[in-house]
Amino acid sequence: TLTLLAVHAHSDDECSGTGGLLIQSIAAGRTTVLITCTNGEMGEAKDPRHPLKPRENLEDRKRLIELRKREQGKAAKILGITHVYNLDYRDSGMDGWEQNDDPGVFMNADLDEVAGRIAEVIRRHRPDVVVTYNENGGYGHPDHIMTHQATLAALGAAEGPTRDRREDGDNVPGPWRVKKLYYTAW
């Protein structure tokens, strides 16, 4: 069966960016894999029952992470996504926000580390097609741009040589070359 991998920056991007494609792929009998790079804690909760201010309050950020993970779990079931991976990096916020300067946010993460984590999923699931953002991240969001850069680096890393075993003793799947790469469009 063919496999589709969608690599997104935040939970909810799988719906707004590739929801229709994921549903169509499942309906066609394909395996679908989703990687979400951040926890999305700098986003918004538009539900009035959850009046959170994550830019101002650390506890609200924690609550928003929990809310986003629950929502993503529900969305994955509705969309029929076969495998979901969360890399759990910290959300960088929008371009120009003070969080951008924090060395611990996703946009400032080590590119090789992020690419290595994505490459491991690529080798494990051997997707035929990968979908992510273009070099501008769709609309310039720093986490979307980092997702683009890390995904492209991961495609190259997944094709390269591997060690025979990971540090935890599991076998490392061999190199894999993705046949097609697509970018989302707004």
Cβ–Cβ under 8 Å, residues 1 and 51: no
- Kindly give the pairing relationship between strand 180-183 and strand 31-38: unpaired
Interval 93-102: pLDDT, tens: 999 998 899 9
Question: What per-residue string of b and e applies to 153-168 under the rule 16 or more CB within 10 Å gives b?
Answer: bbbebbeeebeeeeee
Has residue 29 got a pLDDT over 90?
yes
Cα dist. 4→40, 156, 178, 183 in Å? 23, 17, 10, 13
Mean pLDDT of the chain: 89
Name the packing angle between helices 13-27 and 58-79 (round to 10°): 20
Give the pLDDT band of residue 47 (cuts 50, 70, 90): low
Has residue 33 got a pLDDT over 90?
yes
Q: Give the chain's largest Cα–Cα span.
A: 51
By C-alpha distance, which of 166, 140, 135 is closest to 151?
Answer: 135
pTM: 0.90
User: Which phi and psi (to 5°) does residue 131 adopt?
Assistant: -125, 130
By C-alpha distance, which of 71, 119, 114 is closest to 90?
Answer: 114
Interval 135-172: pLDDT, tens: 998 889 999 999 999 999 999 999 988 655 555 556 66
